[in-house]
Amino acid sequence: MPHDNATDQGPAVPPVPPVPAVPAAERAYAHLKSRILSGDLPGGTLVSEVQVGEALGLSRTPVHEAFLRLGAERLLTLSPRRGAVVVPVPAGESRDVLEAREALEAGAARRLVEDGTTGAVLPRLTEAVALMRAQLASGDVDGFAAADDAFHAAVVDGSGNALVADFYARLRDHQHRLRQALLREWTRDLQGSLDDHVELRAAIEAGDGERYQRVLRRHVARYRGAL
């Protein structure tokens, strides 16, 4: 019987499409924004297009585009001769962010309880608390902040309220920068923050929206007191 080599070799595997390269301007934007939000470039830091371009191996044109985007987001103040300066976090803005965040998240938690969908977010909350505990033990403040952010985002996203999720997402950059700045100054009370998250998770598991709101108010007050 004739041998069919094509059959022996199995079905043809389609070629894997190449991963598109990240545009140079996007690389510069993501690099700078990450350093600003993480606190590596604190408020008042002078940033040079030439230095950024040399560090990333890019020409000045994509770096300039990145500077313009960050200027539009009020993270950089552009100066024709000096380059750009990282915009500090105003004290008034910090208070505004904390108040808005508390209101949005409390409403999201209440909706989770009312709709009976708390079980859907519990695995994400459990994972975030475990990560926070591990990062606290290792002294990784940045990792702790990332797990903190993931916890609260899970509650808001899980509520199913698209408008609240959208508003919360708009606050995320401001929250991340504020949280990073506060946690670096507030490392002595990270255990208290972890304890708050354990209680917040327990409130969701118990379906107790009022308890969640009380603990959240205390949790946000920790940040407010550190301002």
Q: Average pLDDT, whole number, for the chain?
A: 86
Closest among 11, 17, 83 to 47, alpha carbons compared:
83
Q: Which residue has the higher pLDDT, 210 or 225?
A: 210
At residue 89 the predicted structure's pLDDT band, cuts being 50, 70 and 90, is: confident
Any idea which of 20-29, 51-60, 176-185, 205-214 has the lowest mean pLDDT? Answer: 176-185
At residue 55 the predicted structure's pLDDT band, cuts being 50, 70 and 90, is: very high
Could you tell me the pTM of the whole model? 0.72
Domains of the chain: 24-86 (1.10.10.10), 91-226 (1.20.120.530)
Segments in the chain forming alpha helices (H): 5-8, 24-38, 49-56, 60-72, 91-115, 118-138, 141-158, 162-185, 190-206, 209-226
Model pLDDT for residues 124-142, shown as the tens digit of each residue: 999 999 999 999 999 898 8
